[in-house]
């Protein structure tokens, strides 16, 4: 057991009571007389996390999929983050660049590039097990475009002009009315409208209903206050939750101090002016001067402020707003983080950097950096939590700064490493010998100075004590279905040297973090589906044994609906299938874009995926990247219809019914259902069939989707079944081409063409 662990709040309190300051040892797991088995992972107390968001620190998983955040929750708790923040959960049909999430189309939890409503709830459920709170970014000042046909019908400007201010123009910080009423590149919503307020209130209730603990309000400065005749903030915060608003630089107008105090009487707010000052000093190699902006300038209470080292705006906007932190090193941001996050009362937001730096290349749904687990970050977080409620003093030396707390200090050099001597401001930190939890170096604290050697990170975190840790176990993949003979599972382990596993197939043994086991070989699933369980156990440093069971389903592929992908045409290194049903608020998908990675089926040689739960849905295949070309169907085109039966995507983009060779039925994979768009045959169809004219995809209605399918069919990029061919040939010229597509489009616009939309016999 190492001393480089965080101390919990209880230990910190006991140290205050006894006045202990020197490095101490505490009871280890070996001193516990008997191990207690628990079936839950952990609680916030096990990681020293705070009970409320404002007292802790926040990890901004900018643009991460909910599933990716969920997988990292144990590491997030281990790194000392009390809360995690997601990007907006509102409707965004683009599945494209990150900023489209900030131009939403609804006030509801909708499927977007981050995932589904069910996946957000699963994230909240998992986070709760570890004591981690979930914050969701909400855009309420504006919606997409001008509001005409770009948003949900319930919010459309044509039918609800009262939901929009309608002044146009642009904002000017010198004119508060323009800040709250003019457009910000998109139509400004009428925040004073009571009906609109209630719509947004209901959205916050929906978020709360799936387990969300807090809301970050985008562009909060552009939404009026009660003193300006607007009850928006009182209404949307009435159901509880933690709320903080984005107010960049100033709220505008001629009374910014008064406005900031009014905002903070209702919600917490960002203090980016202070955050920028600290960061700029670090980047320039200077010791920062100030300890805040809005607190000393306007008297805003520190426990209503949010600091950061960088934000998604400063990183992802190519410097369009005066800051471009992607050009600064991660280490410079970490040194800035250490100064702002070591302080109490204010919370701080740590930004997970995207892999891309160019604005147009940062895509919604991409997982960002996991550097938040680095000791120089995590130990600062743990310090922040352990020092909760203690006095503080910001101290500036000639070549380093120190945030002094009663039971420790964080020391930061703007550049480099080496020996430092910093004033112990106000004699705040109790004298004694301290171990730097980052480098392991020893620091000496007297009534007047803090001295020692700062390691390579430039950050030293000084405090005493350890925290007993609960073990956690994981399996990847978890709780999944498979049709291959066997499935390989990677076992994960935290805070324990080893664990044990057992399976319902009778296998058992010990494992370490990263070990793999194989299941399925002893289970015969021919003609049926059978469940296989894997139970993992481990004993943590606190002496408690944790146990978690994972369930896998081995199925005969002939019993379920599958999609198969012949990769011989594209030769992608990986094949993903994004499967979805419905549109708008009713949409659901098998995962956030790019969907689920398909596995190669040993029986067929094709990539396969079980889609039983989406057998009436549509599918888009891709190589798993955000490339607009490495996908089929093409970008912004609807997916291929599964239609309730197993399908094969074959050579030349054919899409046919398919039966696996493992089935007793004959395979239909060789059936050619492509459309002969150049046929000039005058031969009548020998069999008369009743069809809905224009219903190319045979879903019982005629829409623009049918027109799109007809266009693709005419270019040999989609196939239609026999009834679909008859329905698509709306002008009865025995050809399927763009003329048919145009006719369907005209019908959708209300201009009836031929017999479209009517049942006819052909």
Residues 289 and 178 reside in one and the same domain: yes
Q: Is residue 662 part of a domain?
A: no
Residues 201 and 74 reside in one and the same domain: yes
Q: Is residue 464 part of a domain?
A: no
Last residue of a domain, one of 488, 520, 555: 555
Q: Tell me how many domains the chain contains.
A: 4
Q: Over the stretch 37-47, which tens digit does the pLDDT of each residue have?
A: 333 445 677 78
Q: Is residue 183 part of a domain?
A: yes
Q: Over the stretch 576-586, which tens digit does the pLDDT of each residue have?
A: 999 998 875 56
Q: Is residue 405 part of a domain?
A: no
Last residue of a domain, one of 371, 390, 409: 390
Residues 133 and 100 reside in one and the same domain: yes
* CATH number of the domain enclosing 537: 2.60.40.2550
Residues 616 and 586 reside in one and the same domain: yes
Residues 283 and 193 reside in one and the same domain: yes
Last residue of a domain, one of 555, 570, 598: 555
Q: Is residue 352 part of a domain?
A: yes
Q: How many Cβ atoms sit within 10 Å of the Cβ of residue 422?
A: 27
For 553, phi and psi rounded to 5 degrees? -120, 120
Q: Say how far apart CA 89 and CA 134 lie, in whole Å.
A: 12
Q: Over the stretch 559-610, which tens digit does the pLDDT of each residue have?
A: 788 899 999 888 998 899 999 988 755 678 888 788 889 988 777 789 999 8
Q: What is the value of pTM for the model shown?
A: 0.65
* CATH number of the domain enclosing 710: 1.10.1330.10
Residues 580 and 550 reside in one and the same domain: no
Q: Is residue 41 part of a domain?
A: no
Contact 407, 396 (CB under 8 A): no
Scanning the structure block, which residue is given the tokens 């680095």?
374
Residues 244 and 351 reside in one and the same domain: yes
Q: Is residue 10 part of a domain?
A: no
Q: Is residue 300 part of a domain?
A: yes
Residues 548 and 613 reside in one and the same domain: no
Quick check: 342 pLDDT over 90?
Answer: yes
Q: Over the stretch 627-666, which tens digit does the pLDDT of each residue have?
A: 778 899 987 788 999 998 899 999 888 999 987 665 443 3
Collapsing DSSP to helix, strand or coil, 371 comes out as helix
Residues 128 and 202 reside in one and the same domain: yes
* CATH number of the domain enclosing 305: 3.20.20.80
Residue bearing the bigger pLDDT, 625 or 557: 625
Residues 173 and 294 reside in one and the same domain: yes
Sequential DSSP letters for 100-145: GGGS-S-SS---BTTB-HHHHHHHHHHHHHTT-EEEEEEE-SB-ST
Which DSSP helix (H) or strand (E) runs through 234? helix 232-236
* CATH number of the domain enclosing 610: 2.60.40.10
**pLDDT at res. 556:** 81
Nearest-Å Rg of the Cα atoms of the chain is 30
Residue bearing the bigger pLDDT, 23 or 407: 407
Neighbouring residues of 584: CB distance < 8 A, sequence distance ≥ 6: 91, 105, 106, 110, 152
Residues 373 and 275 reside in one and the same domain: yes
Q: Over the stretch 314-339, which tens digit does the pLDDT of each residue have?
A: 999 998 878 899 999 999 999 999 99
- Domain region containing 721: 690-761
Residues 84 and 207 reside in one and the same domain: yes
Scanning the structure block, which residue is given the tokens 């004119």?
175
Neighbouring residues of 265: CB distance < 8 A, sequence distance ≥ 6: none
Return the structure tokens found at 592: 């956030």
Collapsing DSSP to helix, strand or coil, 262 comes out as helix
Give the model's confidence band at 188: pLDDT under 50 very low, under 70 low, under 90 confident, else very high.
very high
């Amino acid at each position: 057991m190492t001393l480089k662990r965080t101390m919990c709040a209880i230990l910190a309190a006991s140290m205050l009571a006894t006045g202990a300051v020197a490095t101490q040892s505490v009871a280890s797991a070996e001193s516990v007389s008997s191990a207690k088995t628990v079936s839950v992972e952990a609680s916030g107390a096990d990681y020293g996390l705070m009970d409320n968001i404002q007292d802790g620190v926040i990890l901004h998983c900018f643009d991460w999929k909910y599933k990716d955040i969920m997988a990292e929750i144990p590491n997030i708790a281990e790194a000392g983050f009390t809360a995690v923040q997601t990007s907006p959960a509102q409707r965004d049909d683009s599945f494209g660049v990150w900023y489209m999430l900030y131009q939403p189309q609804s006030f509801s939890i909708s499927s977007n590039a981050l995932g589904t409503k069910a996946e957000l709830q699963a994230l909240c459920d998992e986070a709760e097990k570890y004591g981690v709170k979930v914050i969701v970014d909400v855009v309420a000042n504006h919606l997409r475009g001008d509001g005409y046909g770009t948003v949900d019908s319930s919010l459309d400007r044509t039918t609800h002009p009262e939901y929009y201010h309608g002044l146009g123009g642009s904002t000017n910080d010198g004119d508060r009315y323009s800040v709250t009423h003019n457009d910000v590149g998109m139509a400004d919503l009428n925040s004073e409208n009571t009906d609109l307020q209630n719509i947004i209130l209901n959205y916050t209730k929906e978020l709360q209903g799936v387990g969300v603990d807090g809301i970050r309000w985008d562009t909060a400065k552009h939404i009026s206050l009660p003193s300006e005749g607007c009850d928006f903030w009182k209404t949307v915060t009435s159901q509880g939750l933690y709320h903080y608003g984005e107010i960049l630089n100033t709220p505008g107008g001629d009374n910014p101090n008064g406005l900031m105090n009014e905002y903070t009487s209702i919600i917490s707010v960002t203090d980016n002016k202070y955050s920028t000052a600290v960061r700029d000093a670090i980047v320039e190699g200077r010791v920062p001067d100030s300890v805040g902006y809005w607190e000393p300038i306007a008297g805003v209470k520190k426990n209503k402020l949010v600091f950061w080292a960088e934000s998604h705006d400063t990183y992802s906007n190519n410097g369009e707003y005066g800051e471009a932190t992607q050009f600064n090193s991660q280490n410079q941001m970490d040194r800035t983080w250490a100064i702002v996050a070591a302080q109490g009362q204010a919370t701080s937001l740590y930004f997970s950097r995207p892999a891309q730096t160019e604005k147009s290349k940062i895509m919604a749904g991409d997982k960002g950096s996991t550097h938040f687990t680095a000791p120089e970050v995590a130990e600062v977080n743990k310090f922040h939590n352990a020092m909760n409620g203690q006095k503080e003093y910001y101290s500036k030396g000639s070549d380093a700064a120190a945030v002094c707390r009663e039971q420790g200090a964080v020391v930061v050099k703007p550049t480099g490493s080496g020996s430092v001597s910093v004033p112990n401001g106000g004699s705040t930190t109790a004298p004694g010998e301290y171990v730097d939890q980052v480098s392991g170096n020893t620091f000496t604290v007297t009534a007047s100075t803090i001295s020692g050697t700062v390691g390579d990170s430039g950050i030293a975190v000084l405090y005493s004590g350890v925290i007993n840790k609960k073990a956690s176990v994981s399996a990847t993949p978890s709780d999944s279905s498979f049709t291959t003979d066997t499935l390989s599972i990677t076992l994960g382990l935290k805070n324990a040297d080893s664990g044990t596993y057992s399976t319902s197939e009778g296998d058992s043994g010990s494992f370490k973090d990263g070990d793999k086991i194989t299941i399925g070989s002893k289970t015969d699933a021919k003609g049926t589906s059978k469940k296989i369980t894997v139970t993992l156990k481990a004993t943590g440093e606190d002496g408690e044994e944790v146990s978690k069971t994972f369930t896998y389903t081995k199925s005969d592929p002939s019993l379920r609906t599958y999609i198969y992908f012949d990769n011989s045409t594209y030769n992608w290194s990986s094949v993903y299938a994004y499967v979805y049903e419905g549109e708008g608020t009713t949409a659901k998908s098998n995962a956030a874009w790019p969907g689920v990675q398909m596995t190669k089926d040993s029986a067929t040689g094709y990539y396969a995926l079980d889609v039983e739960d989406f057998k009436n849905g549509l599918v888009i295949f891709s190589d798993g990247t955000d490339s607009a070309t490495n996908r089929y169907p093409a970008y912004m085109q609807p997916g291929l219809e599964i239609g309730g039966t197993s399908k094969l995507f074959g050579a030349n983009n054919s899409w046919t019914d398919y039966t696996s060779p493992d089935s007793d039925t004959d395979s239909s994979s060789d059936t050619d259902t492509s459309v002969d768009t150049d046929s000039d045959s005058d031969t009548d169809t020998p069999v008369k069939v009743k069809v809905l004219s224009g219903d190319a995809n045979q879903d019982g209605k005629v829409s623009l989707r049918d027109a799109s399918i007809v266009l693709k069919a005419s270019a040999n990029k989609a196939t239609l079944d026999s009834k679909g061919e008859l329905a698509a040939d709306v002008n009865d010229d025995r050809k399927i081409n763009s003329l048919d597509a145009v006719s369907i489009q005209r019908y959708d616009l209300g201009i009836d063409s031929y017999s479209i939309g009517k049942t006819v016999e052909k």
